[in-house]
Amino acid sequence: MSIILKNLSLETERTIIKDALPSDIDFIMEMENDKDNKDFVWQGTYEDHQGEINDPDYMLLVIVEKESLERIGFFLMHYNVKSKSMEIRRIAINKKGLGYARETLRKMIDFSFKEVGANRVWLDCYTDNLRGIPLYESLAFKREGILRESYLSDSGFKDQIIFSILKAEWTRN
């Protein structure tokens, strides 16, 4: 199963989603630490990201805008083969409000169900992520519950919402 999670190059109408290379790690770390993203995504180290590139159960992917060939974001996803569950660990886009997150997320959900064979795609999201929550709900993700005060940030404890969508639900949409 791990072969399908590497050597990826997927296309949407406006983007190419492809495997991150070691040369992309600085870009990914800049995205994680960007003022518009850092409160909503965990910041990894260079070694963390190198490990994700090498781990067959992870997909660290860069999102490239077709028109400009500029890197505009990234995904980090993890597949649990035993439970057929794909976790979207991170998504960050630097061109906000233009529909890139929706377009690429839709593609990755579709890929997870149709190509990987996942039965469930899930993610967690801080309760103050006012961009992410409406996006996930509009794509038919269901709220499974709240992890109360599960993360300690610089401003205090934060709650996380668990969202998921099942293959049968995605197929109906």
Q: How far apart are CA 61 and CA 76, in angstroms?
A: 6
User: For residue 4, what pLDDT is reported?
Assistant: 66
**pLDDT classification of 35: cutoffs 50, 70, 90:** confident
CATH 3.30.70.520 is right for the domain spanning 2-172: no
Percent of the chain with pLDDT over 90: 83
User: For residue 3, what pLDDT is reported?
Assistant: 44
Identify the three-state secondary structure at position 70. coil
What are the structure tokens assigned to 128, written together? Answer: 């103050």
Condensed to tens digits (0 to 9), the pLDDT of residues 44-62 reads: 899 999 999 999 999 999 9
Condensed to tens digits (0 to 9), the pLDDT of residues 2-16 reads: 446 788 899 999 999
pTM equals 0.91
| R_g (Cα) of the chain, nearest Å | 15
Condensed to tens digits (0 to 9), the pLDDT of residues 88-140 reads: 999 999 999 999 999 999 999 999 999 999 999 999 999 999 999 999 999 99
Q: How far apart are CA 48 and CA 26, in angstroms?
A: 12
pLDDT at 1 over 60: no
Residue 161's identity, in one-letter code, is I
Are residues 91 and 104 in contact, defined by beta-carbon separation less than 8 angstroms? Answer: yes
pLDDT at 40 over 50: yes
Condensed to tens digits (0 to 9), the pLDDT of residues 66-79 reads: 999 999 999 999 99
